[in-house]
């Protein structure tokens, strides 16, 4: 059930036009950022192919392409953390999507059991050139 999206037109059509023409990369994917519709927290970054993007539009729930498993992934199908899409946006050149979602189940999104996948902060020490990780909420 792959939906054919229109081919991107001219730069002006892509950037200013009213036609949704997602620009998939060489692997047939667009990046998708999911944010909590209530508080704006960035929950996760995933990828969509044409089929998962079409299913997201048709069902109103987030579908992704799992690069590690090589298959469609209905977010929350097993965890109960279904992402109901409240709004979808596309960036200026239509190669990235942002979805505002209400999350079902326990409200989490990360496979580690956390609410969001972005739970660590990168600290860089200019003197040593080393980068280290620490909890984002610390």
Mind listing the pLDDT tens digit for each residue in 61-120? 999 999 999 999 999 999 999 999 999 999 999 999 999 999 999 998 998 889 999 999
Annotated ligand binding at 137? The verdict is no
Q: Is residue 48 part of a domain?
A: yes
Structure tokens given for 7 = 């081919």
Number of domains in the chain: 1
User: Residue ranges of the alpha helices (H) in the chain?
Assistant: 11-16, 50-59
Q: Is residue 5 part of a domain?
A: no
Mean pLDDT of the region 56-60: 97
Q: Is residue 99 part of a domain?
A: yes
Q: Is residue 31 part of a domain?
A: yes
How many degrees, rounded to 5, is the angle at CA 31 between CA 19 and CA 9?
25
1 confidence band (pLDDT: 50, 70, 90): very low
Mean pLDDT of the region 6-11: 87
Closest CA to 30 of 10, 51, 15: 51
Annotated ligand binding at 39? The verdict is no
Range of the domain at 65: 11-106+113-135
**pTM for the structure as a whole:** 0.89
Annotated ligand binding at 36? The verdict is no
C-alpha to C-alpha distance for 55 and 62, rounded to whole angstroms: 8
Q: Is residue 86 part of a domain?
A: yes
Q: Is residue 82 part of a domain?
A: yes
Q: Is residue 1 part of a domain?
A: no
Mean pLDDT of the region 3-26: 88
Residue 78 sits in a domain whose CATH number is 3.10.20.810
Rounded to the nearest 10 degrees, how much is the dihedral formed by the CA atoms of 83, 88, 94, 95?
Answer: -10
Q: Is residue 94 part of a domain?
A: yes
Annotated ligand binding at 32? The verdict is no
Contact predicate 23/14, CB 8 Å: yes
Annotated ligand binding at 109? The verdict is no
Task: Classify the C-alpha dihedral 35-31-50-75 as positive or negative.
Answer: negative
């Amino acid at each position: 059930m792959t939906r054919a999206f229109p081919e991107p037109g001219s730069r002006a059509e892509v950037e200013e036009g009213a036609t949704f023409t997602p620009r998939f990369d060489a692997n047939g994917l667009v990046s998708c950022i999911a944010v909590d519709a209530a508080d704006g927290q960035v929950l996760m970054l995933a990828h969509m192919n044409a089929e998962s993007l079409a299913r997201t539009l048709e069902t109103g729930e987030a579908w992704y392409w799992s690069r590690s498993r090589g298959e469609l992934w209905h977010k929350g199908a097993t965890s109960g953390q279904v992402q109901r899409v409240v709004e979808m946006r596309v960036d200026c050149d239509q190669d990235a999507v942002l979805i505002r979602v209400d999350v079902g189940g326990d409200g989490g999104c990360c496979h580690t059991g956390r609410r969001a996948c972005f739970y660590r902060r990168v600290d860089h020490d200019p003197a040593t050139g080393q980068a280290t990780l620490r909890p984002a909420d610390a």
